[in-house]
Chains A and B, each alone.
Chain A
Amino acid sequence: MIAWTFISAFLGSVVLLLLPSERKALARWVALGTAGAGFAVAVIAFCLFDRSASAEPFQFVIEREWIPSVGISFHLGADGISLVLLLLTGLIAITGVLFSWNIERSPNRFLALFLIIIGGAYGVFLSTDVFLLLVFYEIVILPKYLLIAGWGSTNKSYGAMKLTLYSIVGSALALAAIMATYVVAGQGSFDLFTLAGVHYPAAFQAWAFPLMFIGFAILAGMWPFHTWAPTGHVAAPTAGSMLLAGLVMKLGAYGALRVAMPLFPEGLAQWQGVFAALAAFSILYGALAALSQRDLKFVIGYSSISHMGFVLLGLMTLSTIGVSGAVLQMVSHGIIASLLFGVAGRMIYDRTYTRDLEELGRLGLARKLPFAAVVFLIASAASMGLPGFSGFIAEVTVLLGTIQYSALLLWIVGPAIVLTVAFTLKALQATFFADVPVPAGPPLDPITLPEKLGAGLLIAATLIVGLCPMPFLNLILRSFDSPLMRVLFE
């Protein structure tokens, strides 16, 4: 059943590619239907998941042979971590289609590429065969390039190429480590549980862990491998930015959590301090860089690096509270970043054709687009981590884990939180509430229904996670009981 998440996405994209390009309205509805179907499967799985104490940690398991001669199998399964990320994927699929409703140039191809990326993300979150996970991970690369180079804006060729090359280098590093692991394990299998059951020599772990972790962390936007993210986010079309910030960066963090960390506990212990420091620095660096940007999307792009720093920091605390906070932060940032990019890309840029903070200030957008102003206000509040929104609970749990691990790191992260408030308020003020007596420019098109729906869904999601996080947190915490994840906390 669970496989229908990505099967439906891939089928939907094939249907869209076969549609004649004149049938634009039909293409949009097909895409929305497909995205909705995937989300429905994720919700059903979320409801059906057996939460009793005796239940298996991985459920909805599918085991099929694929390439038996080298021990590659088609193994799927979902634990609590996968499930919450599946829900996020479904949500971003639906809102991404809604925010792309106005695309007029071959919407069928655009949406087909969009759905392939969504399908790849579902696949990554569900794979329990390391090779299969990497296949899904790499399936995403080419559509990402085509989406940005074809439908993007500012400097799209450069942004798309840079992003693609960073992705492929990242997956090459991860692939090298995985192949080495396969050979050293000598089990003739790529199954995650089989590989995790082997004890690797300490000398091997010492280099294989950083290789694999960095390979995944490149996509999670860890400093100093983050530079693809801002240019990529800015170049991408709205739905593309939503995908990149909302999902693709999560794929990297998920790969690190699911594969790199459980396989090499000793290597992890050895490198924990280094990567925790890098993560903390990412938080600070992203915030500082965001403060000095003039382009609204660049502000959000750098803020993504800062927020993803929280995810990596949470992972590196190696405490149940810190890691569960990291997973919650993945979901939270996915929602909030999508909302911010939706406003900046779809509601503002598609109407004004500028994202320069000064120029936007002269337009008096608060009066022209009151809906966008309210949504951006809410998104900013969530992004700053105000209580009641998902960002608050997620970042607080990460910080709690960090205190347990090292109080020193708080001295780096603390100022960054203040800076986050500063750049968010600066962007908000400059975009919507700049002091202009007479707004320049003509009146703008009113906000359409799909935009309102998409924004409403995302706001609802951040409120739900923010106000009652316990169902999600419990689910995440339960998945730490599995033998696979338990090694992290010993």
Chain B
Amino acid sequence: MNTLDFTLRLLPELVLLVTAFAVLGLGCVRERRATGAQPESPRRSAAICALGLVVAGGLLIGVVPTGSLENSVLVIDPLTRLFKLVLLVIALAAVALLRECPPERHRAENFAMLLFTTLGLLLVIGTEELLVLFIGLELTAVSLYIMVGFTKSDPKSAEAAFKYFLFGSVAAAFLLFGFSLIFGFTGSTELRGISQSLRAGGIEPILAVGMVMALAGFGFKVAAVPFHLWSPDVYEGAPVPAAALIASGSKVAGFFILAKFLLLGLGGVEGAAGWGAFASGWVPLIGLMAALSMVLGNLAALTQTSVRRLLAYSGIGHAGFMLTALTAATPQALEAVLFYSVIYAVATLGAFGVVALVLRQSGGDRMDDFAGLHQRSPFVSFCMLLFLTSLAGLPPLAGFFGKFFLFTAAMGAGGEGSAPALLWLVGLGLFMSAVSLYYYLIVVKHMFFVAAPEGAQPLGCSKILLTTVGALAGTLLVLGCAPDLLLGPIGRAVSLVF
């Protein structure tokens, strides 16, 4: 191994690390200097973070060479490069959100945690080796535990952090145990190595146990039923920027690595999930999780009155949609899942941005707090309309195409030209997608057709966050009119992986 090679390929991650420490250090100095009641302004930390992220992105595009190092510990191919870039952009939007609604104290630390989270996510994306993967996931998780519980004085935040921590650590234990069983069985910690050994050996009881445990760990990451219980409380209780990051960046990376783990690592033991034609392997498990997530997430969302809880349950439903495509276990499914995860992250991030603004002004995120948003802030409510309709999957927004690709991929499970084996799952998904329109429209109804309470003020919002929210909404529109802008690169990159 050449140290220079390694450093060169890790440059973006190193930049993030240095930036995080710089923000942390500067924060300490300024915290000591700040006098009493006046908390320090979040502007400088935000600017440094943004600079770090942009530099990391620039290095990723311009300097980092392609290639896989040291038994896939660090894989840099077009796909990982693209998704690292996506995560850096998501982190940038999260920085804008955090700048707008920072915690009362220790603001610099919060920004540093955001960068550590991003660093962890980049590590997760950039590896095909189970141990490094686990380290990346833990770095992300620990930073997120801290971000969720950052407003110590708020009992809901503390409760959310505790729940997230308990569920997260149990999930991590399961994941690690699953990995160890898989390693014990196959003698490899690399995804491709595992797959090779599986193709030769087939499925054994011990391996099945390891597989189920690993899936439980990943199921927590992507909030799929039955490992979803933390998500409504965390979305509602956590500070909005932390919740937004969990719902967007963490989900994208979670689905990215879950899809790679399944398709690359467990290739050869897929099994089948056709109606009446189940065969053991990971596909039936994923199919079951998909069906449960879609049904429970979408039905539970119907009765929510808190918009954040609504987004949490709808997020569970969306995880189900993505798992539906993964059930097909084809490269097309991988493309569709990756495309959709980005679209979903963009829409959710934007929706959380709007929730943060409403929350700051009216102190709550119930439906009533959204009443008459249209009169208070036409632009913000218009953007929210776009986010929600994209989540609901109506054209001409990107969500429509995303869902379409997901379900088409699932339909094609048996290969082109044969009868669609997963019709039961796709039918369920399409029906649940129709159900989801109901609760999104309830929010729309409150924003546009319920009168604002007496004396309601326009939402206060900085230009930076407005631009961010507008840019996210614009992305959905542009990708809705020309989905090939994103689908094309993903397709080309995926074809290099297989």
Contacts and interface: CB of A to CB of B under 8 A. Distances in A.
A202 B274 CA distance: 20
3 nearest A-B pairs in the assembled complex, by CB-CB distance: A186-B417, A186-B416, A172-B430
A68 B491 CA distance: 11
8 contacts: A70-B408, A142-B394, A145-B444, A161-B441, A165-B437, A176-B423, A176-B427, A182-B408
Contacts of A204: 419
Contacts of B434: 165, 168-169, 172
A131 B403 CA distance: 13
B474 interface: no
Contacts, number: 91
Contacts of A201: 419
Interface residues of A, number: 36
A203 B491 CA distance: 33
A184 to B, nearest CB: 7
A183 B416 CA distance: 5
B162 interface: no
Tell me the dominant secondary structure on chain B's binding face: helix
Nearest to B416: A186
B57 to A, nearest CB: 25
Interface in B413-459: 416-420, 423, 426-427, 430-431, 433-434, 437-438, 441, 444-445, 448-449
Contacts of B438: 161, 165
Interface size band for B? 35 or more
A149 B448 contact: yes
B426 A164 contact: no
Contacts of B405: 70
A439 interface: no
A183 B415 CA distance: 8
A166 to B, nearest CB: 9
Interface stretch (A133-141, A315-323, A457-465): A133-141
Contacts of B491: 69
A188 interface: yes
A131 B483 CA distance: 14
A180 B484 contact: no
Contacts of A138: 394-395, 400
Interface of A: 66-70, 131, 135, 138-139, 141-142, 145-146, 149-150, 157, 161, 164-165, 168-169, 172-173, 175-176, 179-180, 182-186, 188, 201, 203-204
Interface of B: 389, 394-396, 400-401, 404-405, 407-408, 411-412, 416-420, 423, 426-427, 430-431, 433-434, 437-438, 441, 444-445, 448-449, 483-484, 487-488, 491
Given A141-B394, A182-B408, A150 B449 contact: yes
Contacts of B449: 149-150, 157
A203 B404 CA distance: 24
Given A182-B411, A184-B417, A168 B400 contact: no
Contacts of A184: 417-420
A69 B488 contact: yes
B395 A135 contact: yes
Given A139-B396, A149-B445, A176-B407, 15 more contacts: A67-B487, A135-B400, A142-B389, A149-B448, A157-B449, A161-B438, A168-B437, A169-B431, A172-B433, A172-B434, A179-B420, A180-B420, A182-B411, A183-B411, A185-B417
Contacts of A176: 407, 423, 426-427, 430
Given A145-B441, A165-B437, A175-B404, A180 B395 contact: no
Given A69-B484, A179-B411, A146 B394 contact: no
Contacts of A66: 484
